[in-house]
Amino acid sequence: MKFTFAMMTLDEFTHLNEARQAEALLEHGIYLTDRLYKNFSIFLYQLDKFYVEVYHNLRFDIMQGMRCFEDDDALQPYLESIDISCLVNS
């Protein structure tokens, strides 16, 4: 059963079960970038006015969790890897 998507808050997203969170992320999330940390590939998505990190355990090849946040300061580990050259006049 597919649910209808409207603007979602961080609180609404965190109250969804894991399957619904994944569905919302896959259908409406915007993939931004990824990074490596220890045994994890961490994928960063934007969903409306908040961000979601998806932790993929490389050792066991499984998704091991998500972290959601609205604070732009939490984007710090990604800043160097985001290409903004298309936004800067050459």
Domain spans in the chain, listed from the N-terminal domain onward? 30-79
Instruction: Give the model's confidence band at 90: pLDDT under 50 very low, under 70 low, under 90 confident, else very high.
Output: low
Give the sign of the dihedral formed by CA 22, CA 73, CA 60, CA 33: positive
The pTM of the whole model exceeds 0.95: no
Instruction: Give the model's confidence band at 34: pLDDT under 50 very low, under 70 low, under 90 confident, else very high.
Output: very high
Residue 89, pLDDT above cutoff 90: no
Strand partners, 45: 31, 52
Pairing of strands 50-57, 40-47: antiparallel
- pLDDT for 1 equals 52
Instruction: Give the model's confidence band at 67: pLDDT under 50 very low, under 70 low, under 90 confident, else very high.
Output: very high
Residue 88, pLDDT above cutoff 80: no
How confident is the prediction for the chain on average, in pLDDT? 89
Two tokens at 49? 């006015």
Q: Phi first, then psi: give them for residue 30, nearest 5 degrees.
A: -110, 115
Contact 64, 54 (CB under 8 A): no
Instruction: Give the model's confidence band at 66: pLDDT under 50 very low, under 70 low, under 90 confident, else very high.
Output: very high
